[in-house]
Structure 1
Amino acid sequence: MQTNYKISEKELGRVIRNKRIEKGWSAEKLGSLYGNAVRGYPVQQDAIYMIEEGHLPKNIKRRLVLAGLLGIPPLLLCPDLQAEADVSIPEHPLDRTEYTTALNAYWQKGYKGSPEHALNDLHERLQTLHNSVLYASAPQKEQIKRLLCSYHVRRAYIANELGRASLALSHFHKAITLATEEEFTDLHAMALYRRGEFFFDRAELKHAEQDLQAVLQLTRSTSSSSNKTRKYAPPERIKGRALNILGLTQVWKARNEAAFGQALKLIDESEKYIELDPGGDIYTIELTPQFYLINRARALVEVNNVKLQRSTQAQDILDELEQHQARKGKRIHNYERLNNIFILARSHFGKGYYPIATTLAQEALSLMEEMQSYIHLPVIKRLYEDLSSTSYGKSDDVAALGLQILFLEYAGMFQK
């Protein structure tokens, strides 16, 4: 939330008081939750009254805790929050084979260090690619430009993992622009798909649909296009992924049985494009049975109309998933674990088992923190909002879940 004028501390105090009363909390309860979060033991209710009179803590971390507990937009209490600047890295020589291998390693195996370290390494590699393309021969130049597209998309993906949406969008834009200018239809489709997936994860469904429909249009139009466009026709697994995620966007919007059924058809259509071993190419996209089944199960529990949810069928799919061989790469495996937890949490929420759903959401957040990946944070925030609106919403466990979300959303602020 942004404002065009500076809100006084006294006004902010009134906002805090109104939010506390709205939640049905006494000053003593807020003091307990707030105190335990910031220093390990409760603060007196008089301290809460002082805050509500306009004497807010100067410490930005404590303000963020108050915002998280009470559901106040963090920027309202902490207007000075700013993203950290990107780090510049010096250049090193280019080896195209090594660059392709490294690109696939980031995708399939994860990171040797932290995601932040990976982000910096990719920045260095992009700089080297940019410098090398100026002096390369024509055949080499084309291959380097293709690597540039893929590296921009991979860096966008990791930036999104770290919650840096603006940086991610910047790299997506560069990849899409370059792929369009060079008629790399396959990479254009790949970049559009990844950006559509990015918008879907953020619940920006209109933008997600636009990008995913554009992917499908590209896959249909290559046969009547130029020789170069046909040379770089998108692999079918990209079309399958686009159909799959487009189906999920329709699931989120479905309000009746007919719309839900059409959404499931899109997801089921993607199954015929499953490719078990795509090899180590520069698309860094695959469509596996696990991906199809996980999203089929998600669809059954994430549809907004509770009457359309099919929790038992989703559980059957999770049981079927256990029969599939474990995926290569710890990071990919962890993402599958995350999705399984999301599905179980949503399933239990739909059945009214709110404490179990809350515990599973906390488990998912712990795994996300371990992975240093925040792509799926909006999914948990959506579940938290739904839990907050239930009879269990005023419990300490749901309040603790809200704080855990806050600590991940502003991870850099809370690192010791």
Structure 2
Amino acid sequence: MRHLLAWTLAAAATLAAAPTAPGAATSHPRCPRLTAPWYGDARDRLQRVIDERGACAGPEGGTEGSTEDVPARPVAAFDWDNTITKNDVTDATLSWALRHDRILRPARWTDTSQWLTPAADRALTEACGTGVPEGAALPTAAQPRCTDEILEIREHGTTMTGAPAFAGTWNHRRTVPQYAWVPQLFAGHTPAQLSAYARAARREALAAPVGATRTLGTHTVPAYVRYYDQQRDLVRTLQRAGFDVYIVSAGSEPITEVWSRGIGVDPAHTLAIRSVLDRHGRMTTRNEGCGGIPATRGEAIPYIDGKRCRLNQEVYGVQGAAAWRRQPWPQRPAIAGGDADTDVTFVGDATGAHLVVNRNKPELMCRAYDDADGRWLVTPMFLGPLPRRPDPYPCSTTAYTAPDGSGRPLLRDDGSVVPDQRDTVY
């Protein structure tokens, strides 16, 4: 357990009250101010939550109901890739590793993932070859076919010929094989080695011009990453206001930790896919589980409901199957933010503000535009925003991803169907 938030019922009832109209809140004189420019009234509404919940507000704010034994600091939680930064930092590290021969050859590619198909195993074996011993570095920099197969499987879950790369049964609200696969590709390395690769990739990506791309095999991939100024300012202000700020990501934990330090979030507050280590301290193809699920080869990662599970388990100390369920109001973040359907569950758990960066992801955008509790804030991407989605989001038919992977109607808490929503913030 990393953090436990204790509030009195009276304080919870007071703070859970519906937000006032935009611009109506009075700034608390002791609370730090957001200064970066935001879309619409998002900054004012975020500031209101800071003023109401922050420890900076004194007894009427986040410290209400604290005890000697249990710190009463409000929590804010954010996804990382394309929420705090523009572009994906795990992909940036994989790109660097492929260009510097850092992927070790497995005995069999099916050892990397329990769902990898025979077609993918054959494609990887043929493209990457068997010319180096098991456990030795593959010469991916000189083998564009190998790089192509790895990137195609990571990006699309298919081989270069279009064959499915993953098959079988998994809970689609707890994992996605190609996300789990990237940390599995780094099996045999130590976390310190992977962190070093991430630092090298970070230096390279921050130095590259905005908009820069590179070609790997036949794939064109982003060559740059940028921290969003607005999110840097938000995280810094929240921390100064007495919030515990957490990152919860479906990327690899050693990689995410390298980047989160850049905004002042330490490894103890960075939650991502945590690989199980062997007796020599090297990463394996297994990752730690959550909510009563033991270590597996990817069955439970911080993905959709898995992000809620990790926050509940490691921030609030909720153990066993209960960690998969929405917790009472005092054991939920005050502010949560994300950009994709993988974030929808924990962002929806927030009690003060649900911050959404619009990347046209249907389940998340349906929740955001439906705005059932009046606390959803939508902002365009801060850098290179997407154009308006021409068609309404299919909220009433297929926006919800069911555990079996099928698309179903999205329901509100009262069981009613969310109607289709038009894209209005872009």
Identify whether the pair has TM-score above 0.5, normalized to the shorter chain. Answer: no
Higher normalized helix content (fraction of residues): 1
Higher normalized strand content (fraction of residues): 2
Q: Which has the higher contact order (CA 8 A, sep 6+)?
A: 2
**Normalising TM by the smaller chain, what interval?**
under 0.3
Structure with max Cα Rg: 1
